[in-house]
Every structure is written in C-alpha cells, then in structure tokens.
Amino acid sequence: MVQETSFRFLLEREAALRVRFTRDRGQVIAFVVQLECWIDEHWYPVVRYDTAHGFAHCDVLKPDGSQEKQAMPVRDFGEALIYAQNDLRTNFHRYCE
C-alpha cells in the first residue's frame, strides 16, 4: 500500500522545512526535503534533497537561479530521508546565510 506524507514546519521565524515522502510497504520510495528561507518578504527554496532523477541527491539553489547537484552516499532512500532532515535542521543557519 502506497502512502504519502507531507508536512512543513518552522525551524525559526525565517527558516522552514518542507518534507514530503512516499512509502510502499514501509520502504521510502521517493522524497523531497527542502529548506526555505524568508528573504525580502518572500519564502525562497535554498537547499533541496530529493529523488527526482532516480537517485538521492542534494541541490544547492543559488541566487542566480543555478543549482549545484551532489549525489548522496547512502544505502537507500530511507537513510537519505533521515540524513536530509538532520542536515537541514542542524545547518539551516549556514544555508540561509
């Protein structure tokens, strides 16, 4: 049975984490974990971990619109989902700068 879960929560007044993942029979089969920062009266995505291209990776979204993609050295999408949430919760101040 496929189940999708999504939520968004504030880390601080000017930083939020958006999480969405899909599980099938208990296994994570897809996810997005995105850090959004409040800049000039708007929410902007700054760092996004996802499985959009069939592999777990991190996109650092630059102000000029370019992206830096980095593969994640993980065994499965479940491990990658946990890693992504922990990284963004721990380092969001640095990313938002």
Which residues, at least 6 apart from 83, have a Cβ–Cβ distance to it below 8 Å? 49, 72, 74
pLDDT, position 62: 86
What are the tens digits of pLDDT across the range 71-80? 898 989 999 9
Rounded alpha-carbon distances, angstroms, from residue 4 to 14, 23, 27, 69: 27, 6, 11, 25
Q: Domain residue spans in the chain?
A: 2-96
**What mean pLDDT do residues 2-7 have?**
97
CA dist., res. 85 & res. 32, Å (int)? 10
What are the tens digits of pLDDT across the range 11-69? 999 999 999 999 999 999 999 999 999 999 999 999 999 999 889 999 999 888 899 99
CA dist., res. 44 & res. 64, Å (int)? 12
CA-based nearest residue to 60, from 72, 52, 70: 70
pLDDT, position 85: 97
pTM across the whole model: 0.93
